[in-house]
Amino acid sequence: MAHVLKDEGYIEEFDAIEDKQQGQLRIKLKYAMNGDKVIHAIDRTSKPGCRVYRSVNDLPKILDGMGIVVVSTSKGVMSDRKAREQNVGGELLCTVS
């Protein structure tokens, strides 16, 4: 998911930190020229008890294309824009605006 956020321009960079018990992810957030944060909200869509699936034609547009939906497809995790380009639907993981 961090790859998708970086590709879409929501974060600057990320790296994995390995330790003995579990790995951690360090994310460097991105800010606009005037100092405003680029990510205003991340809302989880699918939950373990209620998975949400959509076909490519039913993928939602967030803020008329200003936000993205992160989709888990058979071709990997990608943004809704890439899913439309590759003509695949899947599970809606979260929305980013």
Q: Mind listing the pLDDT tens digit for each residue in 83-93?
A: 999 999 999 99
pLDDT of residue 6: 96
pLDDT of residue 20: 80
pLDDT of residue 22: 84
Place of tokens 């373990």: 48
Q: CA-CA distance, 25 to 21, in Å (whole number)?
A: 14
pLDDT of residue 19: 82
Beta-sheet strands, E only, within 1-97: 11-17, 24-29, 42-44, 53-54, 68-73, 76-79, 90-96
pLDDT for 72 beyond 90? yes
pLDDT of residue 5: 96
pLDDT for 38 beyond 90? yes
